[in-house]
Structure 1
């Protein structure tokens, strides 16, 4: 996912700007894995293989996302860990 594309995204629920935490980048600088979060509603949107996962929670694969969050748990901030109930 390019940074230009990221600048066009907002929280689909409350339209707030998103915070981004980049975990890995491709050689060309595109975001490969990361996490977008909404500072207002606290929802989390992982970026997996360059694709932002922004569907409502009831349509997302929580088991596959759990492995993503566990993989990057050491880099998540405390607020995110609390929201995801990882602690």
Structure 2
């Protein structure tokens, strides 16, 4: 919503796909390596695309450090919908389920929903 880049990723569950292979030349990501949590241009070594491509976040959350907006990742799919299309009850259940792994500031003042409402 605020266009901040990059978003922070917190991984709750991950699946490995050892048979996945790279199609294309590394780096596969243009600006930012989420695996190394660093901009591509600042990496000292070749990006680890061979390792990264074999992993998939199955459950987690994407956080905007600028506006405190959060987006759930459920069944490998980031749910990055505009606020008016998000389902409050579903999102509150997600926060409750992972409240021990989500930063306190998101639980208390995250957008568009939080557990303090």
TM-score (norm 2): 0.59
Q: Mark the runs of 5 or more structure 2 residues left unpaired by the alignment.
A: 18-54
**Aligned counterpart, 1:57:** 83
Q: Please say if residues 21 and 36 of structure 1, whose CA atoms lie closer than 8 Å, have aligned partners that are also in contact.
A: yes
**Aligned counterpart, 2:57:** 31
Equivalent residue for 2:11, pick from 18, 22, 31:
22
Task: Tell me how far apart the structure 1 counterparts of residues 101 and 10 of structure 2 sit (CA, whole Å).
Answer: 9
Secondary structure of the 2:67 match is: coil
Cα deviation per residue 1:12-68 (whole Å; 9 max; x = unaligned)?
A: 432421000000112333100000001111110110111111111111111111111
TM-score (norm 1): 0.77
Higher relative contact order (CA closer than 8 Å, sequence separation 6+): 2
Task: Compute the RMSD of aligned alpha carbons.
Answer: 1.5
Q: Please say if residues 20 and 35 of structure 1, whose CA atoms lie closer than 8 Å, have aligned partners that are also in contact.
A: yes
Runs of at least 4 residues off by over 6 Å: none
For these two proteins, the number of residue pairs brought into alignment is 76
Task: Tell me how far apart the structure 2 counterparts of residues 56 and 83 of structure 1 sit (CA, whole Å).
Answer: 18
Q: Identify the structure with the greater helix proportion.
A: 1
Structure of greater Rg: 2
